[in-house]
């Protein structure tokens, strides 16, 4: 058998605040990230995952659904953000101003 035709292992991972699931599967060369997620059966454990709109990554790097996998990669399934990080930071800064913990003009800590 030709080495290029051999299957190789990749890992699919999805995490919630209270639990995580890691599934290792063998895929053929040329398999895309979304195909690997479908093959893993992760949606049977977490039916809320929408394969059409889900964001994916490989080792914390955002990837497109059609990116081709290489041996040893870990496909991460990302959950939607609950809050916009910029809004959270802005609210935290406003609260600190109100409490007198930062200078209201410069924003520096007191």
Mean local confidence (pLDDT), 69-82: 91
User: Does an H or E element contain 61, and which?
Assistant: strand 61-63
* pTM for the structure as a whole: 0.71
Domains of the chain: 8-78 (3.10.20.30)
Report the chain's mean pLDDT, rounded to a whole number.
Answer: 88
DSSP 3-state of 89: helix
- Residue 78 CA to residue 80 CA, distance in Å, equals 7
Query: How would you class 17 by CB atoms within 10 Å of its CB: exposed for 0-12, middle for 13-18, buried for 19 or more?
Result: exposed
Give dist(CA 94, CA 99) in Å, integer: 9
- 55 forms beta bridges with 78
Whether the per-residue pLDDT at 1 is higher than 70: the answer is: no
pLDDT of residue 47 exceeding 90, the answer is yes
pLDDT 10s digits, 100-110: 777 766 767 77
């Amino acid at each position: 058998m030709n080495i290029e035709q051999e299957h190789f292992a990749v890992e699919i991972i999805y995490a919630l605040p209270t639990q995580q699931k890691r599934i290792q599967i063998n895929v053929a060369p040329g398999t895309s990230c979304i195909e690997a997620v479908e093959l893993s059966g992760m949606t049977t454990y977490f039916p809320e995952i929408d394969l059409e709109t889900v964001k994916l990554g490989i080792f914390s790097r955002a990837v497109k659904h059609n990116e081709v996998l290489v041996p040893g990669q870990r496909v991460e399934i990302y959950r939607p953000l609950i809050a916009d990080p910029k809004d959270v930071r802005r609210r935290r800064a406003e609260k600190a101003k109100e409490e007198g913990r930062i200078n209201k003009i410069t924003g520096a800590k007191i």
